[in-house]
Amino acid sequence: MSQDLKDVIQAADPANVATINFGPTHPSTHGIFQNILKVDGEKIISSEQTVGYIHRAFEKLAERRPYNQITPITDRLNYCSSPINNIGWEMTVEKLIGVDIPKRVQYMRVIIMELARIADHLICNSVIGVDAGALTSFFYPFSEREKIYELYEELSGARLTTNMGRIGGFERDFTPVFHEKLKSFLKTFPKAFEEFDSMLARNRIFMDRTKGAGPISAERALSYSFSGPNLRAAGVDYDVRAMNPYSSYEDFDFIIPVGVNGDTYDRFMVRQEEIRQSLRIITQAYNNLPEGDYKADLPDFYLPAKADVYNNMEALIYHFKIIMGETELPVGEVYHAVEGGNGELGYYLISDGGRTPYRLQFRRPCFIYYQAYPEMIKGLPISDAVLTLSSINVIAGELDA
Partner 1 sequence: MGKIEDLETINGEGYQLTTLDKAIALARANSVWPLPFATSCCGIEFMATMGSAYDLSRFGMERMSFTPRQADLLIVAGTISKKLGPVLKRVYEQMAEPKWVLSVGACACSGGIFDTYSVLQGIDRIIPVDVYVPGCPPRPEQIIEGVMNIHELVKKESNRRRYSEEYKHLMDTYQIDIDQHGEAK
Partner 2 sequence: MEKQNNQEYLTAIQAAFGADVLAHEEAFGMLNVELTPARIHDAIAWLQQHQDLSVNYLTNIAGIHYPESEGREFAVVYQLHSWKNNLRLRIKGYLPKENLHIASITDLFAGANWMERETYDFFGIIFDGHPDLRRILNMDDMDYFPMRKEYVLEDATREDKDDRFFGRNNNEL
Q: Tell me which residues touch partner 2 (CB under 8 A).
A: 51-52, 55, 57, 59-61, 63-64, 95-96, 220, 222-226, 238, 243-244, 332-335, 337, 344, 346, 348, 350, 358-359, 361, 363, 367-372, 400-401
Contacts of partner 1 in 67-126 (CB under 8 A): 72-73, 75-76, 79-80, 123
Q: Determine which residue in the list 54, 99, 186, 305 makes contact with partner 1, applying CB under 8 A.
A: 54
Rounded to whole angstroms, the Cα distance separating 154 from 87 reads 17
Rounded Cα gap, residues 259 and 246, in angstroms: 25
Q: How many other C-beta atoms can be found within 10 angstroms of the C-beta atom of residue 103? A: 15
Nearer of residues 145 and 363 to partner 1, judged by Cβ: 145
- By the rule CB under 8 A, 348 interacts with partner 1: no
Residue 224 CB, nearest approach to partner 2 (Å): 4
**11: alpha, beta or left, given left = phi > 0 and alpha = psi -120 to 50?**
alpha
State the nearest-atom distance from the C-beta of 141 to partner 1, in Å: 9
Q: Which residue in 52, 133, 353, 354 binds partner 1 (CB under 8 A)?
A: 52
Residue 142 engages partner 1 in binding (rule: CB under 8 A):
yes
Comparing CB distances to partner 1, the nearer of 141 and 228 is 141
- The yes or no reply on residue 24 touching partner 1 (CB under 8 A) is yes
* Cα torsion angle, 321, 326, 328, 332, sign: positive
Q: From the list 8, 22, 31, 236, which residue makes contact with partner 1 (rule: CB under 8 A)? A: 31
Among partner 1, partner 2, none, what binds residue 198 when CB lies within 5 to 8 Å by partner kind?
none
| 350, interface contact from partner 1, partner 2, none, CB < 5-8 Å by kind | partner 2
| 25 touches partner 1 (CB under 8 A) | yes
By CB under 8 A, tell whether 160 contacts partner 1: yes
Q: CA 166, 399, 390 angle in degrees (round to 5)?
A: 110
Contacted entry of partner 2, partner 1, none for residue 103, CB cut-off 5 to 8 Å set by kind:
none
Interface residue list for partner 1 (CB under 8 A): 24-27, 31-32, 52-57, 60-61, 72-73, 75-76, 79-80, 123, 138-140, 142-143, 145-146, 149, 159-161, 396-397, 400
